[in-house]
Structure 1
């Protein structure tokens, strides 16, 4: 039994999709979440900047005595070097490898689509991870930089016309490739799951990177006897680097509850 919290981090609100899944799968676990709202978006930044920001967040979460780190961010997952991960004192997972594993096991025709931030698609690491599992698989990536700010602005309504038109623009090239599986490679996009499914006409299997990561965490902690006391109800604490009011508003829409009492501002990099 290990009652230390799980540390989850993201560039903003997207990682809340992983928090929601973790709270459902592991209701007895404490979670510490950090959203770098003051420096997002990460998707258009250089790899060096992404790595630097990620190291600062990891250091902060390690001070909270977390038992595992979860980069609930496709951009961080596809840019954080193995050298950083291997040096960590606690287990780590991003969303990339769990999503790649699910997608590789799901596809029937070996043609997989990926939507993510510019940095995620540019890295090429999703394709490398998938081909390490199924070498014959073809991956068709599309950067969707406008979607992250839309989610951050709370444009989550399923009938939102702006979101629909933006998704149709981005997904048109993916639809032409006859993919049977589509990875939502940015955890922000999990909040647009139903809208993506509608634009894809429910003809492909969607792989939610946040959900895949949460399932991986559940399996990992279970197999290693690192779960907390299941008789207790877990508590989630939230930290952001800026704009707590906006974060609270979006979090309430997505988590279905107010988090204001559990939210603190923590500025990093100073």
Structure 2
């Protein structure tokens, strides 16, 4: 099927998922929409996150997408079930794939989760983990400084190291976790700093690979995989600073992104009704 796959996020973090999707599904065309103007979503109220998420969804539905990937943990926690019920296309999030990957890697069933305030408050990861194995012990920590840091392109150096170290200190004092879920798609952009701070004995998990695998399986099941040998031309849209977006995107992808446009979302319908 020649229809594109839509990927939405609160900002640039979902590019970590988009890159893995493109790697596993090289024939598919992707349209990425990052709401960088209103990022971060984590501190916002649930209803506002749902409203913003629906605005992005309505924008992408006009592009006749065949699948929607919610590459934002906060939006996944608050809107996944609603979107799956309301839309006629497959909708997948990043929380359940991340939970499965963590359980696969953990040996002592003690798993840590770092994310935005909204994701941690929602208890979406503990619920997803315990729905698979009720004996899993979970420690969550909200990390408010991380998303603004990544959105501003502070991905390494002394300042980034200081922020990561001070933010993660409470988690290091918790129970003896052996696996840590990066419960925000911005966090893989600073994965090296997180790994260094937590120690090499901790398995650090991001959901991109599992999410991409799930997308591939669902498309195959519905006979929706793209055919032919045409190289797809991906499109990227942002609601905020285009140069900051381009800087982060170009540092994350192997080749510079070609199509990047600025859009406004406020006039799009903000709910399913």
Verify the 8 A CA contact 1:10 1:34 in the aligned structure 2.
Answer: yes
Deviation for aligned residue 1:257: 3.0
Unaligned runs of 5+ in 2: 268-273
- Aligned CA distance change for structure 1 residues 117 and 238 (closer, same or farther; 3 Å): same
Separation in structure 2 between the aligned mates of residue 8 and residue 135 of structure 1, nearest angstrom: 31
Separation in structure 2 between the aligned mates of residue 194 and residue 148 of structure 1, nearest angstrom: 15
Match of 1:187 in 2: 185
Verify the 8 A CA contact 2:77 2:95 in the aligned structure 1.
Answer: yes
Match of 1:46 in 2: 45
Deviation by residue 1:48-83 (Cα, 9 ceiling, x = unmatched): 000000011111111111111001011111111523
Match of 2:198 in 1: 200
1:7-156 equivalent positions in 2, closer than 5 A? 7-80=6-79, 82-156=81-155
Match of 1:257 in 2: 255
Separation in structure 2 between the aligned mates of residue 74 and residue 256 of structure 1, nearest angstrom: 25
Deviation for aligned residue 1:230: 5.0
Count of residue pairs the alignment pairs up: 266
TM-score by length of 2: 0.93
Separation in structure 2 between the aligned mates of residue 242 and residue 143 of structure 1, nearest angstrom: 24
Q: Please report the RMSD computed on the Cα atoms of aligned residues, expressed in angstroms.
A: 1.4
1:194-233 equivalent positions in 2, closer than 5 A? 194-229=192-227, 231-233=229-231
Verify the 8 A CA contact 1:27 1:230 in the aligned structure 2.
Answer: no
Match of 1:165 in 2: 162
Match of 2:172 in 1: 175
Verify the 8 A CA contact 1:190 1:210 in the aligned structure 2.
Answer: no
Unaligned runs of 5+ in 1: none
